[in-house]
Amino acid sequence: MTARAALLLSLALAGLLPAAMPALGQPGAAPAVVPLPPPVPARSGLDTDALKSDLRGTEEAQKRLRAELEAAKGAGIGDRARLNQMLVETATRTRAVEQQLIDVEGRIGLLDGSATDLNASLAKRRGVLAQVLAALMRMGREPPPALLMRPDDALDAVRSAILLGALLPELRVEAETLAADLSELSRVRGELAAARDSLTRLKAELDDDRKRLSALVTERQRRQAEEQPVPQVERSQAETVARSTGDVHDLVTRLETEVGPSARAADAAKAVTRPVEPGKPDLTALRNPARITPAIAFSQAKGLLPLPVAGVTLKSFGAPDSVGGAEKGMTIATRAGAPVSAPADGWVVYAGPFRSYGQLLIINAGGGYHILMAGMERITVDLGQFVLAGEPVGVMGGLSRTAGPAAARGAAATVPGAGLRFGNEPGTALGQPQFYVEFRKDGISIDPTPWWAATDSQKVRG
């Protein structure tokens, strides 16, 4: 509001500016103020009915899962195929729900920011708005004098008309601005309520899917331990090689020549030869969950591989790293506890801690290609195990972990975080778990971007 308008308001509040409220009813007058939705009263105590309902729902879900697992038990290729199919389908659905949650959380962050800005703007203009409203109320109580009835007040009437003509446009602008801000604040609060309802629903779905996935993984590894047990001596040997090796390329080379399960996995990968023909590959084999070898050659899988996790890409291949070099893989910020899936068919040649990578998983995809994945809190597959594209292989933790070559050169291993936020503001990924994936061909890092499926809605943080 201008200084002139402020002076006029002071006169109005002092009783020197009588006017009539009907003037504001003319065309162009300020719109009615939109009332704010009443605050939702805080709930106290426990909702025992809701708790009982949740418990019943969890028990029913567990019963259904046990029934499905019982149906999948037994001997034969069909049994393993059924379990694999359940694993891939559940992991895919969980990843989709994770991505929806990230999108909703980002939307809530933006709406919260808008609501904060609007509230700050209204608070900043609180004094001016109070003056506007008080002046309007004053003018409503003291209408202007009538010239025909009180000719002795003609001078006051003329002065009031002059002042009112100067003041009304200013009042109208302020009233319209106030109404617009309140209307926008009401809309933002409505969208926030809807987004939070959606967040609650998605979290419930995610919780059910994670429980189901955990039970399926436990069953898969139980069967794996029965059918292809890894002797403790071979596990210890792999750990010894990892501790005595400082380079990933040397680690892979030594594992695939010195450690039994890793060597057998490498031999199985070499024994599989897939013809590389021009054009699109035959994808029929990808629909067979009972396969025990890669469905197609890795070199022909470009544009087909699912991302291992849902999240926000923080660093891409080739981007500058923190020590003056270039990133050899890509880093993705995820939600706490997010499941990690294998991006391609292959054999596990290493699963365990390695230097600053933390928990490192290496998959031999055949044809000289290896997939490195790090940043996980827990790996859920074993040495020598064959995994399908989309099959769960690990779980993210709850802290930000910088993994990969940059970490190996001295970057911080863990950064404690305080809550999850997936917005567009700088720094919102701090404190979130960070997943690292790298593709290698004959020991040399390559850009994984051409391999990811185009349908994956992955956000890139600029």
Domain boundary pick from 226, 245, 265 = 226
**Could you give the CA distance from residue 168 to residue 174 in angstroms, rounded to a whole number?**
10
| Residue 45 covered by a domain | no
368 and 417 share one domain = yes
Rounded mean pLDDT, 199-218? 85
The pLDDT of residue 97 is 87
pLDDT digits over 327-342, tens only? 899 999 998 899 999 9
- Do the domain assignments include residue 46? no
**Whether the Cβ atoms of residue 91 and residue 390 lie closer than 8 Å to each other:** yes
200 and 257 fall within a common domain: no
The domain tally of the chain equals: 2
The candidate with the shortest Cα–Cα distance to 142, out of 164, 125, 123, is 164
Residue 42 lies in a domain: no
Q: pLDDT tens-digit profile of 246-283? A: 889 999 999 999 999 999 999 898 887 666 666 676 67
Residue 128 placed within a domain? yes
98 & 182 share domain: yes
Is residue 44 included in any domain, yes or no?
no
Q: Mean of the per-residue pLDDT values for the chain? A: 74
Q: What angle do CA 270, 274, 279 make, to 5 degrees?
A: 145
For β-strands 434-441 and 444-446, DSSP reports them as antiparallel
CA atoms within 13 A on the CB side of 353: 9
Could you give the C-alpha distances from 13 to 136, 140, 172, 293, 381, in angstroms and in order? 9, 12, 17, 85, 77
Looking at the fold, whether 178 and 218 belong to one and the same domain comes out as yes
Q: How far apart are CA 210 and CA 339, in angstroms?
A: 8
Question: 206: exposed, middle or buried (C-beta count within 10 Å: 0-12, 13-18, 19+)?
Answer: buried
Domain match, 238 and 167 both: no
Interior/surface letters 149-167, b for 16+ CB within 10 angstroms, e for the rest = eeeeeeeebeebeebbeeb
Q: Do residue 327 and residue 359 come from a single domain?
A: yes
Q: Both 273 and 164 in a single domain?
A: no
The tokens of 352 are what? Answer: 């365990």
Alpha-carbon radius of gyration of the chain: 33
Q: Quick one: pLDDT at residue 374?
A: 94
Angle of helix 3-13 relative to helix 126-141, nearest 10 degrees, comes to: 40
Q: Which of 226, 254, 269 is the last residue of a domain?
A: 226
Range of the domain at 380: 231-279+291-460
DSSP 3-state assignment of 437? strand
What's the CATH number where 441 sits? Answer: 2.70.70.10
Decide: pTM greater than 0.75.
Answer: no
Rounded percentage of the chain residues whose pLDDT exceeds 90: 25
Clarify whether residues 193 and 314 are in a common domain: no
Apex 439 CA angle, 377 and 441, nearest 5: 140
Among 271, 406, 397, 277, which residue's Cα sits nearest to residue 329? Answer: 406
User: What is the tens place of the pLDDT at every residue in 47-98?
Assistant: 455 445 555 555 665 566 667 666 655 544 467 788 888 889 888 888 888 8
| Weakest mean pLDDT among 38-42, 154-158, 169-173, 203-207 | 38-42
Looking at the DSSP bridge assignments, the partners of residue 414 are: 401
End-of-domain residue from the set 202, 226, 250: 226
